[in-house]
Chains A and B, each alone.
Chain A
Amino acid sequence: MIRKDFAMAKQKAKLKSEQNDNPGGPGRYFIRLNFNERVQHMIFLICFIVLAITGFMLKLPEDVVAKFGDAKDVVFYYRGLLHRTAGTIMILVSIYHVFYLLFKTAGRRWLVDMLPRFKDLSDLFGTMLYYLRFRVRPPEYDRFYYKQKLEYGALIAGATLMSVTGLLLWTEERWPKFILDIAAIVHGMEAILACLAIMVWHMYEVHLRPRKFPIDNLWITGVIDEEEMMEEYPLHYQKIMADPELQKAYLQPEHGKRDVSGRISARGSE
């Protein structure tokens, strides 16, 4: 099965490169993540990985810890330092994200599009029917659909909980031990939940999904092509096409031939 996915990915890459070589072809790209959002994602991603590794190092079995040999106390020192540094950066990015949502045009659009609506519930129901073959096509999604909204909600809840409990544990002497015990349990269990969710929900979405395999370039380039846009987010596509203002925001200005490096540096609307 995986081999077939590889073959499909290769075919898709070839098709895209052919489209890009042809200036008259349908090489129009839609901005899903602007430069600012991509940088936020990148910082958050690095912090998350560092935090997960340095955090779960506390749960290593005794014999694995013993493998660090004489350097284990040095490893422990840098583990703590990295964990706190990455945690601080993650909190700062999260605070900036709130600022971005409230005070930037693109951020405000993001916030409005991300708010849960009744349509999300009906989309979930419709998608299930589609998965179970009771429907031929999935429901038409807007800019963000239920899966992404759930993930974003979980991210906000998770980051808040982890930040608060992390800060409590960091400033332990100021709090009653019972509060710290709760914080330690929540911090540990939430970490397991977050890592598993990222692995099952997000990694599948951007790596294993047959259309995306082996990796979705969106986190680097920030754009998707017109075909994908029409297929995955048809409602949003229609809205953009009908509104010149939205076209300014979401349509990559210099469409046509554009290499990957060009797309990476594309800033999009902020």
Chain B
Amino acid sequence: MRFFSLTFANSCIFAGLLVLLYSGITSAQDSPITSGQDLVTDAENCLLCHRYPNMGRYDKSGNKRIYYLNEKVFAESVHGKLRCKSCHVGLDEIPHSNVKKVDCSSNCHIKEPSTDKEFSHKNMVDKYVASVHGLGSDTSPKKKFPEDLPTCKYCHNNPMYVPADGIWGKSEALSNETLARCIGCHPTSHWAERFYSHFTHRMRRRRSQGEIVKLCTSCHEDQEKMARHGLESIGTYKDTYHWIQVQYGVENAPDCLSCHVPLGYSAHDIRPRTDSISPINMANRVKTCSNQGGMQSCHPGATTEFASGRVHAYGMKAQMMADQNAESFLAGQDISLVVERAEKDLSDKEVFHYKVLRLIKLFYKLLIALVIGSMLLHQGLDYMASRRQLKSR
């Protein structure tokens, strides 16, 4: 029975695919993509089907899954030289029933020139698993709520190679002239182009500061999700001058990575601030704030006193510690982990600082209300008196 239902489901999917394929063929007649250009390495002939824009289906949860591959775009991407099966393991049957999730730590059968061994992102993945964002390894404790943790694809898409930015701005001419020098010795121009693109791709940041903040806050601003892991929302970052600069698109503006992944650190290996190698650990703060040797000019003269202060504005944890009223936060949710972390993360000095800052703010709010209120009253009375006086003349 189970066999029957599986076969039946597969047949349905296959029938669906055929319908989509047919509609794809009709629309592909106008498509600029032509087969046989050999833009990508397609030894398995996957593009026989996947070149049609309507290739796709709705999955069980109703999401539209698109299986179309734009050959030209893919060829220009960082993975453009890989065969489909380098990442998509299995898929030997049609319709594909043995689909496995892409594992970025697998070997992709391209030789890495410096070691002449098969290339893999395994070293990055291993680091990542042990980092704050990873599920945990044998040496680090496993995390609860694995569904909250970002996978490789949450942050990485398959970015395109684009002409290099340089002191000449976005310049295709720069690429052309540099490549002309390369091609003299490396006659396979396609190889030279990809090598050049790979090199220039690493020379600059892929995302703007605003995009980085957007990516990180897409999880870290979710108060409920953060509370499950004993964290607070980092929405208070947006109360800082750092964020204002990012908002205005300032080239030198500091985003999340500027402090959490400064020069010499990897975004895949972010550690908690209690870890002695973390760039935001108190022992490493001066180095992080001064960013010596980095492209960004941050606080070259940073002192220990300057660097050891609070960077994000105080948030929920400080409020909990100051008022000792944890139960009033996030009603209906278990926040015992947040309370536990708050006690560990915030020193008495920091709680005192928070209280002082809060008091100053309150004082000013009252002062403004009192002063401006009295002024309004006074001027209102004056207005009436002045008009009365003018009328009586």
Interface residues of A (CB under 8 A from B): 1, 8, 58, 62, 65, 68, 70, 72-73, 75-77, 128, 130-132, 138, 147, 172-178, 180-182, 184-186, 189-190, 192-193, 196-197, 200-201, 204-205, 208-211
- Asked whether B385 lies within 8 Å of A182 as measured between CB atoms, the reply is no
- Asked whether A75 lies within 8 Å of B353 as measured between CB atoms, the reply is no
- Asked whether B379 lies within 8 Å of A175 as measured between CB atoms, the reply is no
- Asked whether A131 lies within 8 Å of B303 as measured between CB atoms, the reply is no
Q: How far is the CA of A1 from the CA of B391 in the complex (A)?
A: 12
- Asked whether A65 lies within 8 Å of B248 as measured between CB atoms, the reply is yes
- Asked whether A210 lies within 8 Å of B383 as measured between CB atoms, the reply is yes
Q: How far is the CA of A210 from the CA of B154 in the complex (A)?
A: 64
CB-contacts of B306-335 with A (<8 A): 306-311
- Does B143 make an interface contact (CB < 8 A)? no
A-B contact number at CB 8 A: 111
- Does B251 make an interface contact (CB < 8 A)? yes
Closest to B251 in A: A73
Q: How far is the CA of A201 from the CA of B311 in the complex (A)?
A: 37
- Does B44 make an interface contact (CB < 8 A)? no
Closest to A193 in B: B368
- Asked whether B361 lies within 8 Å of A185 as measured between CB atoms, the reply is yes
Instruction: Mark B355-393 against chain A: 1 for CB-CB distance below 8 A, else 0.
Output: 011001100110110011001101101111111001000
Q: How far is the CA of A86 from the CA of B325 in the complex (A)?
A: 45
Interface residues of B (CB under 8 A from A): 241, 244-245, 247-251, 299-303, 305-311, 353, 356-357, 360-361, 364-365, 367-368, 371-372, 375-376, 378-379, 381-387, 390
- Specify which chain B residues have a CB less than 8 angstroms from the CB of A62 in the assembled complex: 247
- Asked whether B385 lies within 8 Å of A131 as measured between CB atoms, the reply is yes
- Asked whether B248 lies within 8 Å of A73 as measured between CB atoms, the reply is yes
Cβ distance B73 to chain A, nearest Cβ, rounded Å: 26
- Which 5 A-B pairs give the minimum distances between C-beta atoms? A177-B309, A189-B364, A76-B248, A131-B381, A176-B305
- Asked whether A193 lies within 8 Å of B248 as measured between CB atoms, the reply is no
Our pick among A68, A185, A210 for the contact of B360 (Cβ within 8 Å) is: A185
Q: How far is the CA of A127 from the CA of B302 in the complex (A)?
A: 55
Cβ distance A131 to chain B, nearest Cβ, rounded Å: 4
- Asked whether B383 lies within 8 Å of A209 as measured between CB atoms, the reply is yes
Q: How far is the CA of A79 from the CA of B50 in the complex (A)?
A: 52
- Asked whether B381 lies within 8 Å of A132 as measured between CB atoms, the reply is yes
Closest to A169 in B: B241
Q: How far is the CA of A155 from the CA of B379 in the complex (A)?
A: 18
Our pick among A68, A76, A210 for the contact of B390 (Cβ within 8 Å) is: A210
Cβ distance B352 to chain A, nearest Cβ, rounded Å: 9
- Asked whether A209 lies within 8 Å of B251 as measured between CB atoms, the reply is no
- Asked whether A185 lies within 8 Å of B357 as measured between CB atoms, the reply is yes
- Asked whether A181 lies within 8 Å of B382 as measured between CB atoms, the reply is no
A8 and B390 in contact, given A73-B248, A176-B305, A182-B356 (Cβ under 8 angstroms): yes
- Asked whether A65 lies within 8 Å of B247 as measured between CB atoms, the reply is yes
Q: How far is the CA of A182 from the CA of B354 in the complex (A)?
A: 10
Cβ distance A147 to chain B, nearest Cβ, rounded Å: 8
- Asked whether B247 lies within 8 Å of A131 as measured between CB atoms, the reply is no
Our pick among A75, A132, A197 for the contact of B248 (Cβ within 8 Å) is: A75
- Asked whether B249 lies within 8 Å of A72 as measured between CB atoms, the reply is yes
Q: How far is the CA of A128 from the CA of B284 in the complex (A)?
A: 61
Our pick among B244, B302, B360, B371 for the contact of A182 (Cβ within 8 Å) is: B360
